[in-house]
Structure 1
Amino acid sequence: MRAERVEEKEAKLVAVRAAARAPRWAIPAVKLAILASDVALAAFCFFAAFYLRERLPLIVHSGSGWTWSAQFAPYAVLLPFVVLARVATLAYHDLYRLRGEYSLLDDGARLFKAMATASLLIIAAAFLHRGGYQYRAFSYARGVFALDFVLALAAFGASRFAVRGGQRLVRARGINLIPTLVVGCNHEAEMCISEMRARPELGYRVIGVIATDGTRSASEFNGVPIIGALEDLPAAIRLTGANEVIITDTRLSGNALFDVMMSVGRHRRVEFRIAPSLFNCLPRKTEIDQIGALPMIRLFREPLPQAARAIKRAFDILISALALLLLAPLWIVIAVLIKLDSRGPVLYKQERVGMDGRIFLFYKFRTMHADADDRIHREYQRKLISGEREANLGDDERPIYKLHRDPRVTRVGRWLRRTSLDELPQLLNVLRGEMSIVGPRPPIPYEVEFYDLWHRKRLDMKPGITGLWQVSGRNRLTFDEMVRLDLFYIENWSLWLDLKIILRTLPAMLRGEDAY
């Protein structure tokens, strides 16, 4: 009887693997094609740079056939090194990785570093090696290498953008997703499964759950089959072909996890990740002190040091002033549309709670009827903050945590909210110093009345027009999850993090995802 149950479990695991299997040749074939195109692009950019700078032919026809022109011959000696440097630096900066999550912003930063490093290596080779003994007296034109860098950056950037676009389309069809096992049946596991199911572009498919508590007797968790307990994990990895294991239950014994990882072995190349709640993570901004012989970790008591506040303020003034100047014509168009659609003022003013609980007047383009009653929103916010989830579905039938199909919203207002253009007048709040470009969302005073004590920590920093939660799930997140993201942002602020959030906000606005 026991042998039959074991066979039945193994058959279930093999079925899970078959459902998640993808052709093994696909990824190597795509990488080989990308590599071949990179070799061609590197050579083409070098050719184009020489021609644009010198306006001279690259090849000429002689009695023995086609050959390099006398002017290009010294550069032709460098060509193999140019191609090798470009490809090697791309590989070094991990730009041939097609598995897992990716970020266009991170790809762009790595691409710039790769192209800059390669160009420096090419220039060093040109001016140190001098093209070999035959061209030791030749003087290379610096403009050729400068043009080569610009062309290579543009060409390889377009190439990587096209690759990521194709990858996104493929993943949306359930192809090239990493088979993943989740260890745990807690809230974090539910979040992990829901996020990966809602966003296939992340590159993961949860194929099974490893139960760590009494739920192991159930057949599935959050729509994913439960395929065993912790002691079954090595066999589950082997039979399902999983490449990633995400551990969401942080109560597990470290020794037990270590034993499992040793049982799996390094040769299977399985990645283990721990996904604890953001609220339980230590901030990166910590300092190591010593009291006698005891090392101590001191957390920053102030969210931002004085110098960081000054940098953030200067950044806010620069961005908001530039945005107001460039978007002035759009303001006029929006104002006309609002006036034509419904009676009332163009701008909507409302009291909001800022840093340290200070009240300020908040500006938005009006998206509701002028006589709208706030009782609907007040009651909804009370239920949201207290954790009472209502049957509130978005356009794609997924649960959202913002008032959907609000009867108070006008026709133009619905479009403004969908595109987030109603937020533009908040640039005035930024210039006045009441808000920042990036930060937690400013709550309404009656919302703060419903806060728990730990929720109020999000008021330690100036509120922002955009923030981490807007680009990390927006209205699909619960209120507690939004607050945890705000606290994570406050504890881990950097100018680079602000830039990343701003650049991720723009495509989110264009897509209009989860905006109501």
Structure 2
Amino acid sequence: MRHVHFPAQRVAGTAQGTAAPARRLGDKARWYLPAALTADLVGAAVPVGLVFEAAEQARPFYCALGAAFAWVTVQALRRRYASRLLGESRGVLPVVHDWLILIGVLAVARVVTDESTPRMAALGALLPALLITVACHKLTYRHLSGARREAQAVSRVLVIGEPDTAEDVIAHLAARTDHPYVVVGVVPVGQGALGSGLPVAARLAADMPALPGGDAGAVLEAVASHHADLVLVAPGARMAGERLRRIAWTLHDAGLELAVFPGLVEVSVKRLETLTAGGLTVLRIAPPVSRGVQPVLKSVLDRVGAALGLLVLSPLFLGVALAIRFGSRGPAFYSQRRIGRDGAPFVMWKFRTMVVDADAKKAELSGSNENDGLMFKMRRDPRVTRVGRLLRRTSLDELPQLLNVLTGDMSLVGPRPPLPDEVARYDEVALRRLTVRPGMTGLWQISGRSDLSWDETIQLDLQYVDNWSFTSDVDVVARTFRAVVDGRGAY
């Protein structure tokens, strides 16, 4: 039986006894809601009041109050202040969506009240509301993420399923801390050893009991003894159909929540749809987006963005090139053969950050590789020049790849472009990352870059390939700027 290592902060209230009891999901910091309301009210009222006062509007105070009330109402109707959503990561796009609704509402109010402030001034007065709300969401999300690493503001989960299936679910939940679930016990169905170290809250028979409520008492007692907020069922041959339905009835009659793990990993909820067929509940999984308007928009964004980037950044290109030439012997640019979409090779361009004979010295440093997979990474690579360290820290060495984006070999967003010797050792899973164009940035960059393990890198790339959308690209580009400033994993 495979043993799973659990971080101490994710073993909450178990029989191990060394960890403090987990704080419930409802125990989020009490300042989240007041902070959100204050940010939204002030962010909308103050700028609108100041702009309308400067424009000599007859009723600036009432306009400011109206804008603040409208902004809070829009978000309240969209349930942004619900306890279970406060502090959760929703990205920038949902806030932008709410803000566009606000603009529509206020545009109607403008016509009705015959308000005469210039349109662009009025629009500019509403922009701080968007920015302040986004900043508040980021603040609460970072605080909540830190709390969850300490098993606070979480849901206590009881897992039910056949031993092997239950162990897989527990392992996935224990491996990460960016979610609200802490497993406090397991109810195995049938015989079989458990290697997770979690307490066995009860054990159900392999076959469904003859009596309708045969499982009910054991499950309810397990929930009560472990103070569980949620029962998570991992379905299998011995836990499905009528038996699962009876357990659901029991839990729901007791006012308890039930969740079912469908066996899917890293599939975006945007691709999921629930259907019914002949009384069966069916989960439909839409294929990844590969046709239609969104791929066209991505191509347009790539080409236009690359062209504008090359035009605007040309003075910076010149400055970086001169710094490289004065800093060490050799050319300013470095070209390398990489593998692109569908395994097609191409020449990728970068600013040179290493000594000229760096490739020849790579074999000598193979024993110092700090990456656990096929990539070669060293925090203090002796081949990197003084100027090169600064370029890597700021990601300026990647800018010449705009040429690759302009020619269609790369995209602004996508998986990391691999080397030919890496691809030669890919398995079937890793090869799937080659079904899209590689990118200058991607989930790997905003999630830690070189600090990621090989498995984490592949997981992020496959998550991007399978769940891509145009809006996700826009979100990654926005988050890249913060990752570049942070510099984590860039070496």
Say yes or no: does 1:460 pair with 2:435.
Answer: yes
2:339 alignment partner, one of 353, 359, 363:
353
Task: Identify which range, 414-423 or 434-443, moves more after superposition.
Answer: 414-423
Equivalent position of 1:504 in the other structure: 479
1:310-389, aligned counterparts within 5 Å? 310-372=296-358, 373=360, 374-375=362-363, 384-385=373-374
How far apart in 1 are the matches of 2:257 and 2:174? 19
**1:449–1:377: structure 2 CA closer, same or farther, 3 Å change rule?**
farther
| Code of the aligned partner of 1:21 | R
Conserved 8 A contact 1:45-1:148: no
Conserved 8 A contact 1:182-1:248: no
**1:215–1:382: structure 2 CA closer, same or farther, 3 Å change rule?**
farther
Task: Identify which range, 364-373 or 328-337, moves more after superposition.
Answer: 328-337
| Code of the aligned partner of 2:81 | Y
Q: Deviations over 1:12-58 (max 9, x none)?
A: 57978963237978755542454356456555455434323226xxx
Equivalent position of 2:37 in the other structure: 35
| Code of the aligned partner of 1:93 | R
| Code of the aligned partner of 1:361 | V
How far apart in 2 are the matches of 1:188 and 1:446? 34
Equivalent position of 1:164 in the other structure: 138
Say yes or no: does 1:143 pair with 2:117.
Answer: yes
Deviation, 1:235, is: 5.1
Conserved 8 A contact 2:32-2:87: no
Task: Identify which range, 235-244 or 461-470, moves more after superposition.
Answer: 235-244
Say yes or no: does 1:95 pair with 2:80.
Answer: yes
1:437 alignment partner, one of 390, 412, 419:
412
Conserved 8 A contact 1:210-1:233: no
Equivalent position of 2:23 in the other structure: 21
How far apart in 1 are the matches of 2:270 and 2:75? 32
Equivalent position of 1:137 in the other structure: none
**Unaligned 5+ runs, structure 2:** 1-11, 160-164, 205-217, 276-281
Conserved 8 A contact 1:111-1:157: no
**1:482–1:147: structure 2 CA closer, same or farther, 3 Å change rule?**
same
Deviation, 1:314, is: 1.9
**1:41–1:51: structure 2 CA closer, same or farther, 3 Å change rule?**
same
1:206 alignment partner, one of 161, 182, 196:
182
1:421 alignment partner, one of 393, 396, 403:
396
- Identity in percent: 29
Deviation, 1:502, is: 1.2
| Code of the aligned partner of 1:461 | V
**1:218–1:162: structure 2 CA closer, same or farther, 3 Å change rule?**
same
Q: Which has the larger radius of gyration?
A: 1
| Code of the aligned partner of 1:108 | V
Deviation, 1:93, is: 2.6
Say yes or no: does 1:494 pair with 2:469.
Answer: yes
State how many pairs are aligned.
Answer: 445
| Code of the aligned partner of 2:302 | D
**1:441–1:36: structure 2 CA closer, same or farther, 3 Å change rule?**
closer
| Code of the aligned partner of 1:50 | F
Deviation, 1:436, is: 1.2
**1:238–1:330: structure 2 CA closer, same or farther, 3 Å change rule?**
farther
**Unaligned 5+ runs, structure 1:** 1-9, 56-70, 131-139, 197-201, 289-294, 386-399
Q: Deviations over 1:93-135 (max 9, x none)?
A: 33324546314413532441342244245346xx2xx6xxxxx
Q: Deviations over 1:316-368 (max 9, x none)?
A: 11111222233334334433443344332222211111222222111112222
How far apart in 2 are the matches of 1:353 and 1:21? 48
1:410 alignment partner, one of 380, 385, 393:
385
**1:188–1:499: structure 2 CA closer, same or farther, 3 Å change rule?**
farther
> Could you say what secondary structure the match of 1:142 adopts?
coil
Q: Deviations over 1:273-299 (max 9, x none)?
A: 74855478899499x9xxxxxx9x998
| Code of the aligned partner of 1:96 | Y
Conserved 8 A contact 2:158-2:185: yes
| Code of the aligned partner of 2:345 | I
Equivalent position of 1:6 in the other structure: none
**1:206–1:100: structure 2 CA closer, same or farther, 3 Å change rule?**
farther
Equivalent position of 2:212 in the other structure: none
How far apart in 2 are the matches of 1:298 and 1:164? 30
Say yes or no: does 1:194 pair with 2:175.
Answer: yes
**1:186–1:366: structure 2 CA closer, same or farther, 3 Å change rule?**
farther
Deviation, 1:429, is: 0.9
Deviation, 1:465, is: 1.1
How far apart in 2 are the matches of 1:87 and 1:461? 41
Q: Deviations over 1:114-171 (max 9, x none)?
A: 42244245346xx2xx6xxxxxxxxx22327875554244135314513532552465
**1:275–1:403: structure 2 CA closer, same or farther, 3 Å change rule?**
farther
TM-score by length of 2: 0.72
Root-mean-square deviation (CA, aligned residues, Å) is: 4.6
TM-score by length of 1: 0.69
Equivalent position of 2:92 in the other structure: 105
How far apart in 2 are the matches of 1:436 and 1:96? 37
> Could you say what secondary structure the match of 1:434 adopts?
coil
> Could you say what secondary structure the match of 2:182 adopts?
strand
Conserved 8 A contact 2:156-2:228: yes
How far apart in 2 are the matches of 1:367 and 1:265? 61
Q: Deviations over 1:216-246 (max 9, x none)?
A: 65573xxxx5464676775565455555666
Say yes or no: does 1:253 pair with 2:229.
Answer: no
How far apart in 2 are the matches of 1:476 and 1:244? 34
How far apart in 1 are the matches of 2:303 and 2:486? 27
How far apart in 2 are the matches of 1:283 and 1:252? 30
> Could you say what secondary structure the match of 2:350 adopts?
strand
